[in-house]
Every structure is written in structure tokens, then in C-alpha cells.
């Protein structure tokens, strides 16, 4: 029988949860209630890391502002959570797909099927990161609940060697990943209901953190107006209706005026917003957005 490495066995996320020791003897309602009670603690664990999350947001916003990238890297659950956040940025903020990327151990096929053996491959981590050609303009964020995944650790170390700013997102303090990064975010969620199953509280915590980082960074860049996703690209009927509603809400325009402005803008929501808010032409709105580096509120001020 293969032994669990001592360094892994000692991690809090690998310990048995005392409240769940007789999990297999509980009713369905009792199991659901126990998992729910444990999930309540996740937000509190994230709360304790808010200063570090804020620093990460600033690093990412600065990188994207100068034309750099945010590159997530992880294995298993961590890699899939990274992929989810990365692929949601273009439809939400109309960003270039290259600006927020993900690397997952085992490649894209690992998104649909488990590839546990890949997470132990340090050389693959280095190779995958090397293919992305990280530079000082980029931020690389490595995710590993244990903080010791060889693939992720090797990728992060190479990125740092190439000059990228690096962030570690883990659930266990004093880990190799934390020591390898410029900045660490350690969400100490404690033992899982299902011992060692980091797809549970650990995964939830890390999904919350990535949501905060990407959403706040895009907000700082001006891709959000108020709390409206004004960079949304209306590529289907649902998104077309959403864009019109955003324009109505942001400017007080009638539905007819919002629809007309969106059409006149070439279905570019931020352009339509500047046109309506500043009462300018499409060309003037586009010029203001270019000068403001796509920061919508600043573009409105410039156009006015």
C-alpha cells in the first residue's frame, strides 16, 4: 500500500474533520446540513485574506493595463477552477482571450477527465509555462490547495525566473508554493467533510478568490460602470437585451434611444454608453475611449 507522504499527511486540509467522523452513518439531510455548516466557514476564511487579495487585484490590474497577462496555473480541481474564471472574462468584460489565460496539468483534456498523474510532472509544468513566454509584464497565479503540487510549483518558479510577478493561492500556510511566490493568499479552510477532498471547501474558497481578483481588476480598469458590465459584447439575443437594459439603466435613456444608440455604435456597448452619456457621435465616443484606454467613466468625462 502506497503511503501518504508525511508532508502531505500533516496538512490541515488532509486531516479528518471531527464533525464528520461518522459521515457514512448519517441521513441525507444530516450530510447536507453538515456540508452546508462547513461551507459557511469558507467566507470567513477568505475574509482573513482580503488585504492579500487586494494586493493581488492591484498587481493584476497594473499588468493588464500595461498590456501584460494574467496566467493561472493549477492541477485537478485547481486547474478547472482557473479555467472557469479565465474563459468567463471575454464574455463578461469583452477582453482579449489572451489577456487572462489558464494552464492545467494534463492539458485541456484534463478539463473533462481526471489526469492526476500529470500533477506530479515538474518538467511538464516548466514546459507549459515556458511556451507562454512569461515576462515582467505578466502576473502568474499558481493555485494548489496543498501548496506543494509539483506541476504548479515548477511553473510558478519558472515564471518568476523570467521576471513575472507571481501569486500563490493555497489553503495551507508555509508551503513551497507560498515561498516561491512574491505574494501569497492562504485561505485556511481547515479539514474537509470528506477528508482530503479539496474540491469542497478549498475549491469553493479558491473560486471565490478568483472571482474577486478578476472582477475587481476589470473594474479598476474601467470595464465596469457603476456595477454594470458595460463592456459586454451583445453576440446573441439575450446579451443584446442585456446591453440595451444596461444603457437604459446607466444613462436614463428610453429603450428606443438605447436600442438606436447600440445599433449606431456598431453593437459596441461602451461606445453606445459614451455616445448617450456625453451626447456625442460614434467617432467622438471611440476617440474618447481610446484616449482613456477603454476606461468608460474616464471616457465619458473626456467626451464631455
pLDDT tier for residue 87 given thresholds of 50, 70 and 90: very high
Catalytic residue ranges: 88, 119
Q: Which domains does the chain have, with CATH numbers?
A: 12-220 (3.40.50.10490), 237-303 (1.10.8.1080)
Nine cell digits for residue 125 = 509544468
Which H or E run contains 247?
helix 237-251
**Global confidence as pTM:** 0.90
pLDDT at 5: 46
Cβ proximity of 23 and 30 under 8 Å:
no
pLDDT exceeds cutoff 80 at 225: yes
pLDDT at 115: 67
pLDDT per residue as tens digits for the range 29-83: 999 999 999 999 999 999 999 999 999 999 999 999 999 999 999 999 999 999 9
pLDDT per residue as tens digits for the range 189-201: 998 888 878 899 9
pLDDT exceeds cutoff 90 at 205: yes
pLDDT tier for residue 266 given thresholds of 50, 70 and 90: very high
pLDDT at 256: 97
pLDDT at 98: 96
φ, ψ dihedrals at 72, nearest 5°? -85, 150
pLDDT per residue as tens digits for the range 116-143: 778 889 999 999 999 999 999 999 999 9
pLDDT at 1: 33
Q: What is the Cα 153 distance to its own chain's centre?
A: 19
pLDDT exceeds cutoff 80 at 3: no
Mean pLDDT of all residues belonging to the chain: 92
**Among 94, 98, 99, which residue's Cα sits nearest to residue 270?**
94
Amino acid at each position: 500500500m502506497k503511503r501518504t507522504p508525511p508532508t502531505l499527511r500533516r496538512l490541515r486540509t488532509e486531516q479528518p474533520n471531527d464533525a464528520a467522523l461518522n459521515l457514512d452513518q448519517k441521513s441525507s439531510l444530516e450530510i447536507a446540513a453538515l456540508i452546508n455548516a462547513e461551507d459557511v466557514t469558507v467566507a470567513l476564511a477568505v475574509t482573513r485574506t482580503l488585504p492579500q487579495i487586494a494586493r493581488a487585484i492591484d498587481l493584476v490590474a497594473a499588468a493588464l493595463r500595461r498590456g501584460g497577462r494574467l496566467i493561472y496555473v493549477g492541477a485537478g480541481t485547481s486547474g478547472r477552477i482557473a479555467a472557469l474564471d479565465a474563459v468567463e472574462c471575454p464574455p463578461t468584460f469583452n477582453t482579449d482571450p489572451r489577456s487572462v489565460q489558464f494552464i492545467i496539468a494534463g492539458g485541456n483534456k484534463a478539463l473533462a477527465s481526471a489526469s492526476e498523474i500529470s500533477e506530479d510532472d515538474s518538467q511538464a509544468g516548466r514546459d507549459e509555462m515556458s511556451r507562454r513566454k512569461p515576462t515582467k509584464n505578466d502576473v502568474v497565479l499558481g493555485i494548489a490547495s496543498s501548496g506543494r503540487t509539483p506541476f504548479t510549483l515548477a511553473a510558478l518558479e519558472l515564471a518568476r525566473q523570467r521576471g513575472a510577478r507571481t501569486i500563490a493561492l493555497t489553503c495551507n500556510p508555509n508551503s513551497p508554493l507560498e515561498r516561491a511566490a512574491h505574494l501569497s493568499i492562504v485561505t485556511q479552510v481547515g479539514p474537509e467533510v470528506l477528508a482530503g477532498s479539496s474540491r469542497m471547501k478549498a475549491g469553493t474558497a479558491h473560486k471565490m478568490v478568483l472571482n474577486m481578483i478578476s472582477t475587481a481588476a476589470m473594474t479598476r480598469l474601467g470595464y465596469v460602470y457603476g456595477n454594470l458590465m458595460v463592456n459586454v459584447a451583445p453576440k446573441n439575443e439575450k446579451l443584446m437585451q442585456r446591453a440595451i437594459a444596461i444603457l437604459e439603466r446607466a444613462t436614463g435613456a428610453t429603450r428606443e434611444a438605447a436600442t438606436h444608440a447600440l445599433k449606431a455604435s456598431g453593437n459596441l456597448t461602451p461606445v453606445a454608453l459614451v455616445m448617450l452619456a456625453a451626447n456625442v457621435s460614434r467617432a467622438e465616443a471611440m476617440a474618447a475611449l481610446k484616449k482613456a484606454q477603454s476606461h468608460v467613466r474616464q471616457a465619458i468625462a473626456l467626451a464631455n
